[in-house]
Amino acid sequence: MPVDTFSIRMVQEKDARALWQLANDPVTRENSLLSARISWEDHLRWFYEALRMKDRLTMYVACLGPCVVGQLRFFEDSPGSSTVSIGLAQGYRGKGLGKKLLSGRLGFYLSRNPQVDRLRAVIKRTNTPSTRLFTGQGFKIAATSNETLILMFDRR
């Protein structure tokens, strides 16, 4: 049986449904800062707006063969600073794909965006796998609250 090839590519219009399904995965919703289910209509509005924000939002998908199994976003939310988020589909968590996706695009993103000096990840305190993933890539815990951790990566 052939092994599916892992690849990372820029998000495309055809990825709308796969990203919606990924966003509504129960574990994804549980680990999200906003836990309510996302309607298809709301997702499409967000998705097409996101595609138009190419100057501030960079989105990648991770694929095994033709199947989208994860997503990674960098959103330049203020001058010199971007917020990073990542998500993996059920059945693909805990297998090293998150590390491959984040490590595979972190340096690439920074090299393409020299104006960005700081990256931030906002993670629920209970999301230990994401905390480990980001700290393993050089992010440091910068702030905590009752519900979240803010991890920072500073390339300066």
User: Where do we find the tokens 């393993």?
Assistant: 136
Q: Residue 48: give the domain boundaries.
A: 6-118
- Establish if 142 belongs to a structural domain: no
- Establish if 35 belongs to a structural domain: yes
How many domains does the chain contain in total? 1
- Establish if 70 belongs to a structural domain: yes
- Establish if 154 belongs to a structural domain: no
CATH of the domain at 94: 3.40.630.30
- Establish if 153 belongs to a structural domain: no
Which pLDDT score is estimated for 1?
Answer: 40
> Within 65-127, where are the H helices?
97-112
Nearest to 110 by CA among 130, 131, 142, 137: 137
The rounded distance, in Å, linking the Cα atoms of 72 and 84 is 7
Which pLDDT score is estimated for 32?
Answer: 86
Q: Any long-range contacts for 19-26 (C-beta under 8 Å, 24+ apart)?
A: 19/43, 19/47, 19/61, 19/68, 19/71, 20/44, 20/47, 21/89, 22/68, 22/70, 22/71, 22/87, 22/88, 22/89, 23/87, 25/87, 25/89, 25/90, 26/90
Q: Burial letters for 71-100: b for 16+ Cβ neighbours within 10 Å, e otherwise?
A: bbbbbbeeeebbbbbbbbbeebbeeebbee
**Residue 101, Cβ density class (10 Å: 0-12 exposed, 13-18 middle, ≥19 buried):** buried
Which pLDDT score is estimated for 3?
Answer: 59
- Establish if 16 belongs to a structural domain: yes
- Establish if 18 belongs to a structural domain: yes
pLDDT tens digit at each of 156 positions of the chain: 455 799 999 999 999 999 999 999 988 888 888 888 999 999 999 999 999 998 899 999 999 999 999 999 999 999 999 999 999 998 888 888 999 999 999 999 999 999 999 999 999 999 999 999 999 999 999 999 999 999 999 988
- Establish if 91 belongs to a structural domain: yes
